[in-house]
Structure 1
Amino acid sequence: MSNAIRIDDLAHPRLTDVQRAAMAYGEQQQIDFSEAAVLAAARQRTGLTDFGPEDFRERLRLLLGEWGNDPDMTGSQRANLFGYLVRYASNRLLIQDQWQRHPGILEQEIRQPLIVAGLPRSGTTHLLNLLAADTRFRSLPLWESYEPVPLPGETLAPDGVDPRYRRCEEAWQGMQQVTPLLAAMHPMHPDHIHEELELMGPDFASYNFEWLAPSPRWRDHYYQHDQTPHYQYMRDVLKLLQWSRGPDRWVLKCPQHLEQLPVLRTVFPDATCVITHRDPVAVIQSAVTMLAYGYRMSRKRIDTRAIVEYWSDRVEHLLRACVRDRQCFPAQQSIDILFHEFMADDMATVELIYATAGVELTATTRAQMQAFVDAHPRGKEGKMVYDLKGDFGVDPAALRERFSFYFEQFPIRAEHS
């Protein structure tokens, strides 16, 4: 297999010259990792001062406290996370400003969205991008999810490119230089259709922060609090984006929805919910390999066993909630998709989804989807080879037993390396 990718230095990375230079530069940065510094930087970047409701500050302080006191975090990662928080705070200012200046935005309705929920690495990204190829739907490209509102006074460049797109492209190019194998695991091109979870970032909410850095305190806070207000915030940002340009029927996706199905139904009562199902062991080995690879730039010490234990627990929480709450979406508004069937015939899966959602699958739509598939062949960036036992010290068969409750509920096919 000529394009096979096997990462054999997850626990003890062999850094490239580019990676060593980036790490050294990061250690030289002096970051004021405080609430005051984040908010001041956001005010300076936007020229705005009204953050809206102040409850977000508690969540911001929690993140700053947990990340700021992490002794194993590298300087480059600290600078990276500070940038994330400043971007979210800036977006909050910009969004609040738009809502205030254009009150009609919040009078918009989000009608009958198609929402994909499923574990990370379970085909949700391919399915989302396939559905988004249908131009009758509104979707969320990565560049727009990162910066939903332009900076004040910012206009298109002379070549017609949005500065927000250019910033996203530059970040992607930089990521490819520093962590090149991420392209094979999780492409982040500006045009890539992204998760609406990003729109909860300005409310300093969602489980996304757990993917950025080890965040058990954040996870516990998230578990203990009703996520409805944050889903409502995200919905209202979707209204803003819909108001700025159409069409007005959305296709969305996020793995977090698996453990928030009742909240999802409350906030989007007429949604069609598409739930993908895959062997959790295959999901975990893919996710923890991706995380461990990225940690070479963000962690001074990589504990592969801790990574797999945390995310095995996290995946179990997602799936137990899904099994518990699956029936909150009625049959006429939901469909379960098996990963192996989707991989075998993705257009047959699309046909089932469209039939459930009451959407006509036209010849034009089929052509649009085929064009996407042709431009994004599977394995284009290479095929990852995993070794859960060798890299993480976990026996796949033993781990799979932990999820017997899930296999009993859905006819998932176990995947064996």
Structure 2
Amino acid sequence: MDIFHERPSWLRRLNQFGPATGDPRHIVPLDPGEMLATARSSTGLVEVGDEDWLETYERRIRSIDLESKSNLLGRLLCRAETIRLLQTRLRLCKAWANEPAILEEKIERPIFVLGAPRTGTTILLELLALDRNLRAPISWEAQHPIPHGVAVDPESAMALAEAEHEFWMDIQPELAALHELRSDLPCECVHFMALEFGGPYFAMHYETPSYDQWAMSRPEILPRTYRLHRNFLQTLQYGNERKPWLLKSPAHLMTATALFAEYPDAIAVHTHRDPQRFVGSAASTTAMLHWLRSDDLDPVVYGQLALGGFSYMLNHVMEQRQAGELPNDQFVDSQYLDLIDDPVAAIEKIYDRSGLDWPVGHSDRIHAYLRDKPKGKFGTHRYSLDEYGLNEESVANTYAAYVDYYGISREP
């Protein structure tokens, strides 16, 4: 895929072991039953909770195994992540059995940052998380949580998470221009929603058409995934000071109905940006995540996803808010240009609409954070619309209703 830098030589050689044996499946098997057995034997735990999720897990993994066209590294990453997720699920279930009070923890008025990819959701989350009166899940917690009553060393968990992030950077250095990956930064919900195997994490990395088709007829998957989302937060919160949760994922836009069904008192901070800026960037980002794990990609497919898929998602939420199907008074619209031009004022608006008190010194913390992390600090994300089969006219026409309704300004 020539729109990205050439892979490191060590990785090219590693991936050649796949075709050298006829198929990378011969080297790295992805058998759902065997991986669950491995997770159980490695932890000494058996209970995985409500077994309704097992079919979702098995179908997801089989679809990745047979349809994703993953290279050897892609299969190694899938196997490692799957076993880690299963081990975490086993430990969580053990913690919940030992301490039933965990699942009685109240999660009140959580704040969700949601919006299309590349609309400022990450930097907004990081700036909001500077407030010590709020709590965001930290990357190492999401990857290697420490459930109450189960012995896991926090320093080891942080080191493991940091090593995983550094490995992704070794594979694809351009990722740093998209997101700074560190074990101590706030992270997206997708990383712990993956514990249910019905969330968006695996879709971000693998093509799974048969799973996607099957899941469309299984409405129970989303409520179950958000119930686990709550249970995960309850686990992190148990025994600690209760603070409003600060959460983030562009994927929540696709499932806003399920989100509010689980969290009816939630606040949704909806980010907006000129589609001429975010569509091509989102296409490039999605393609890059898949390219980490597969050699067989068509950039135009990711262009059409960014053009049609994200516009459908944004228009659907817009229509739901207009129709009262989503609680419009619990949405706070945040324009990307406002955040860039005057970040303190943009965040004060969110506080005002969310009923939060502005903490002493917060303005100074925001300015200091941005001084230390200027745009482009980790490189420039380079892409063009035409690389993904797109042009300015098609983007303008597709997103016209969205731009008009929210009054989104064209970026210079």
2:311 paired residue number: 316
In 1, Cα distance between equivalents of 2:17 and 2:111: 44
The reply to whether residue 410 of structure 1 matches residue 406 of structure 2 is: yes
> What is the deviation of 1:38?
1.6
1:155 Cα offset (Å): 4.7
Contact 1:46 1:151 in 2 (8 A): no
Aligned to 2:63: 66
Map of 2:146 onto structure 1: 149
Aligned 8 A contact 1:179 1:294 in 2: no
Q: 2:100 aligns with which of 99, 103, 108?
A: 103
Give the TM-score, by structure 1 length. 0.89
Match of 1:261 in 2: 256
Aligned to 1:5: none
The answer to whether the 8 Å contact 1:259/1:317 transfers is no
Aligned to 2:299: 304
The verdict on how the C-alpha distance between 1:60 and 1:281 changes in structure 2, with shifts beyond 3 A counting, is farther
User: 1: distance between equivalents of 2:291 and 2:106?
Assistant: 44
Amino acid at match of 1:303: D
Which of 3, 6, 23 is 1:10 aligned to? 3
Q: What do you get for the CA RMSD once the two structures are aligned?
A: 2.4
**Alpha-carbon distance change, 178 to 261 in structure 1, aligned in 2, over 3 angstroms:** closer
- Opposite residue 7 of structure 2, the aligned amino acid is L
With over 3 angstroms needed to count, the CA separation of the structure-2 counterparts of 1:253 and 1:328, relative to structure 1, is farther
CA deviations over 1:179-222 (Å, ceiling 9, x no partner): 11111112221112111232221111212221111233344444
Q: Distance in 2 between matches of 1:302 and 1:259?
A: 24
| Contact 2:14–2:72 (Cα < 8 Å) also in 1 | no
Q: Name the residue aligned to 2:273.
A: 278
Give deviations 1:331-385, integer Å, cap 9, x for gaps. 5432111122222111111100111111111223333333322332221112223
**Correspondent of 1:399 among 381, 395, 402:** 395
**Which residue of the other structure, out of 167, 173, 179, is the alignment partner of 1:180?**
173
Single out whichever of 165-174 and 82-91 deviates more from structure 2: 82-91
Distance across 2 between alignment mates of 1:66 and 1:198: 20
Quickly say closer, same or farther: Cα 1:104–1:20, change in 2 above 3 A: same
- C-alpha separation in 1, matches of 2:142 and 2:68: 31
Evaluate the alpha carbon distance shift between residue 152 and residue 332 of structure 1 in structure 2; reply closer, same or farther with a 3 A threshold: closer
User: Map of 1:349-360 to 2, 5 A cutoff?
Assistant: 349-360=346-357
Change (3 A) 1:246 1:196: farther
Superposed CA offset, 1:273-297 (max 9, x none): 2111123342221122123334444
The alpha-carbon distance between structure 1 residues 18 and 52, as it changes in their structure 2 partners (threshold 3 A), is same
Which of these residues, 60, 64, 84, is aligned with residue 81 of structure 2? 84
Kindly provide the CA deviation profile for residues 221-265 of structure 1, in whole angstroms up to 9, marking residues without a partner as x: 444424122112111110111114334321111212213222222
Structure 2 match to 1:234: 229
Does structure 2 retain, via aligned residues, the 8 Å contact 1:10–1:293?
Answer: no
Q: Single out whichever of 328-337 and 193-202 deviates more from structure 2.
A: 328-337
Once the two structures are TM-superposed, the CA of residue 152 in structure 1 deviates from its matched residue by 8.5
Aligned residues: 403
Letter in 1 for 2:389: G
For the pair 1:114 / 2:106, whether they are aligned, the reply is: no
Q: Quick one: distance in 2 between partners of 1:295 and 1:269?
A: 34
How do 1:190-269 and structure 2 match up within 5 A?
Answer: 190-224=183-217, 225-226=219-220, 227-269=222-264
* Contact 1:118 1:275 survives alignment (8 Å): yes
Unaligned 5+ runs, structure 1: 1-7
Distance 1:319 1:409 in 2: 11
Whether contact under 8 Å (2:314, 2:402) holds in the other structure is yes
Of 342, 358, 365, 2:362 maps to: 365
For each residue in 1:294-338, what CA deviation from the matched residue of structure 2 results, as whole angstroms up to 9, or x when unmatched?
444422222111222234332123213211222445454321111
Match for 2:113: what amino acid?
A: V
5 Å-filtered alignment, 1:45-64, equals: 45-64=42-61
Assess if the C-alpha contact under 8 Å between 2:193 and 2:201 holds in 1.
no
Question: Are the aligned partners of 2:106 and 2:234 in contact in 1 as well (CA < 8 Å)?
Answer: yes
- Cα deviation for residue 394 of structure 1 reads 1.7
For 2:342 and 2:51, the matched residues in 1 are separated by 48
Residue identity in the other structure for 2:403: F
Runs of 5+ consecutive residues of structure 2 not aligned to the other structure: none
2:120 paired with 1:123: yes
